[in-house]
Structure 1
Amino acid sequence: MKTTIATVILLSSVFAGSAFANESQPRDVLESSLQRSIQQEVEVTRSQVKAENQLELVQYFAEFKFALNPSRVASTVAEAAADYLAGNEE
């Protein structure tokens, strides 16, 4: 009886060890898959941020160029002078 119990314990530990080894392989696959997925998400986010920043920079330069337009500067000065003469200082 004791040898039967010992044999059952020995066999179950062997099978449990091989099952654990088989289970660790899918875990490694899962970890690498998860890591690839995270890297892809980071790349997508990085690309989106870069595109948004480039768009903001282009918009800033367009506004800056518009602000430096001589006719725009003259109209801004004229508006400021009219407000000053009218007493509407800001």
Structure 2
Amino acid sequence: MPRYHFHIHDGRSIIDTDGIELADVAQARRMAVRLTGQFFEDEADLVSLGEEWRMEVTDAQGLILFRLDFVVTRAAAVGGSVRT
């Protein structure tokens, strides 16, 4: 089975040196979504407004297969007045 690595970049880099053996890229995508949800649940207080966050999923050779990108932005109605 191929090994996939899930690297997090959010102003610092957390490199997954171990990886996880999964059947295929579709399973790696599902795992990436699960890991991202778990990260945000555990570390939500560490994500700042305007900060970019991404997870890059690579194969065993380091080739980026896909990535998940998130940007935390404040809505106009939060923390300020709303123009009508």
| TM-score, normalised with respect to structure 2 | 0.28
- Whichever structure has more helix as a proportion of its residues is 1
- Whichever structure has more strand as a proportion of its residues is 2
Larger Cα-atom Rg: 1
- Larger RCO (CA under 8 A, 6+ residues apart): 2
